[in-house]
Amino acid sequence: MDKILNYIGGELVKPAGDAWLDNFNPALGQVYSLIPDSDERDVEEALRHAEAAFITWRFTSLEDRFKVLNRIAEGIDAANDNLARAESVDQGKPLWLAKNEITRAGQNFRFFATAAMQFASESHSMEGHALNYTLRQPLGVVGCISPWNLPLYLFTWKIAPALATGNCVIAKPSEITPMTAFLLSKICADAGLPKGVLNIVHGLGPKVGNAMVSHPRIKAISFTGGTATGKHIASVAAPMFKKLSLELGGKNPNIVFADCDFDKAVKTTVQSSFLNQGEICLCGSRILVERPIYEKFRDALVKEVSVLKVGNPLDKDTKIGAIVSRQHFEKVLSYIDLAKQEGGEVLLGGNALQMQGENDGGWFIAPTIIENLAYDCRTNTEEIFGPVVTITPFDSEEEVLTMANCTEYGLACSIWTNDLTRAHRVAANIHSGIVWINCWLLRDLRTPFGGVKQSGVGREGGWEAMRFFTEAKNVCVKL
């Protein structure tokens, strides 16, 4: 059985305790590799190397940082086919989608390599009396913890700005999808990233993740994952005054007004509901449709979704792959049961799919559309994070704002309308960190990315990320 290894001090190494965890292929429902069950000893060892590397890395010229981060991007691009296949096998997502995400992982490194060269700080003149200038200095050794849904993309989204700003990193990918982070360690070594600058420690959240969060010499934690985990991390890190960026769960509304471009709204709603099996924090899982077009929209959506092929993620015409793990598969199914108990009517799907052939042990769920639920019931307010959406009519802008804002989450929202004034007004009144008007998942890496309420604290992307990974120090010079 293949073994994934930790990447510590520039070497691929076994975990200190020589203990291993099973890694599953969700489309087969079978173990296909083993991953290190690391513990605090591995984190301590990674920290020793990272602190040693920081002495040099923090003073490495911007141009040299730029060059090595670009070489990592090139390495990711060159390995796109291998990485995409590995991601698809590990996570269950369709191969074509994995290819796009791997391309975006390379772009993360390229984007923040360039940002390192452009990042500047402010100065404030006190009219002939004094001059203030701000230093933005790296924090030291920082921790990056990422989830299983977009494994390499989200992992690199954190690591790249942390390295670009001169920090050394201890990173932990999800134990459910560790493979592409392991392959990245080889790419970083080949790209000439100095030993110890990036260390990747695999293992369980409560062991490795917790050891990182609670370590007093790890200066900041950038975390993406569930809200419950984020709460726990905040409770451990806050008393230590550790810098925290938390990107958490969502329950995003997708608001469709009657004057929208109907075909575009339906087509994009298919994507925003079911891309990556609905396992994207930005998916719009609550579809709210203005009453005059409700039935037409609902029927068109059901028709489009009913032809999506669910199956082997490696088949090129598969649109919906496997659910990432047995545990998550059962969680999603339990929410479909809950929806029925709450009076929901399943318009499409609503069941697990038993595949034939080699995928007969895999975890597949039919794309599911449910109507007839109260807007504030549990199904409509708790995160499901799978191929399950609800659809609900509304009668006025005021009503839809109440519905959209009724959850504890506030990550993203889509608005479909051709009335620009209304679009801006609704965007301003939605409680979320991200709003798309007449589109979805259109991403510019310079924009602030993150949520409000229980969807998170802080922002990633562009200068926000560069600022998070640096400490501002004001120096005042009396003239």
Question: Does position 384 bind ligand NAD by CB under 6 A?
Answer: no
Question: Does position 206 bind ligand NAD by CB under 6 A?
Answer: yes
Catalytic residue among 144, 168, 188, 281: 281
Identify the helix (H) or strand (E) that includes residue 227: helix 227-237
Please give the order of strands across the beta sheet that includes 168-172. 11-13, 6-8, 198-200, 168-172, 141-145, 220-224, 243-247, 456-457
Question: Does position 233 bind ligand NAD by CB under 6 A?
Answer: yes
Where does this chain touch ligand NAD (CB under 6 A) — which range of 9-17, 100-108, 161-169, 228-236? 228-236
State the residue number with the nearest CB to ligand NAD. Answer: 205
DSSP 136-171: EEE-SEEEEE--SSSHHHHHHHHHHHHHHTT-EEEE
Q: Which is nearer to ligand NAD, 106 or 203 (CB)?
A: 203
Residue count, binding to ligand NAD (CB under 6 A): 31
Q: Which of 383, 388, 401, 410 binds ligand NAD (CB under 6 A)?
A: 383
Cα 367 to Cα 353: distance, rounded to the nearest angstrom: 10
Q: Which of 281, 305, 320, 355 binds ligand NAD (CB under 6 A)?
A: 281
Q: Is 247 a catalytic residue?
A: yes
Q: Is 281 a catalytic residue?
A: yes
Question: Does position 226 bind ligand NAD by CB under 6 A?
Answer: yes
Contact 139, 166 (CB under 8 A): no
Question: Does position 290 bind ligand NAD by CB under 6 A?
Answer: no
Minimal distance, residue 281 CB to ligand NAD, in Å: 3
Minimal distance, residue 19 CB to ligand NAD, in Å: 16
Identify the helix (H) or strand (E) that includes residue 200: strand 198-200
Contact 288, 395 (CB under 8 A): no
Please tell me whether residue 316 adopts helix, strand or coil conformation: coil
Q: Which of 456, 458, 461, 462 binds ligand NAD (CB under 6 A)?
A: 456
Cα 372 to Cα 392: distance, rounded to the nearest angstrom: 7
* CB atoms closer than 10 angstroms to residue 155: 27
Question: Does position 385 bind ligand NAD by CB under 6 A?
Answer: yes
C-alpha dist (Å) from residue 442 to 65, 434, 435: 28, 11, 10
Q: Which of residues 130-189 bind ligand NAD (CB under 6 A)?
A: 145-149, 154, 172, 174-175
Residue 413 is encoded by which pair of tokens?
């929202």
Q: Which is nearer to ligand NAD, 138 or 205 (CB)?
A: 205
Minimal distance, residue 79 CB to ligand NAD, in Å: 23
Residue 41 is encoded by which pair of tokens?
């000893």
Residue numbers at the binding site for ligand NAD (CB under 6 A) = 145-149, 154, 172, 174-175, 205-206, 209-210, 213, 224-226, 229, 232-233, 247-250, 281, 383, 385, 411, 451, 455-456
- Active-site annotation, residues: 247, 281
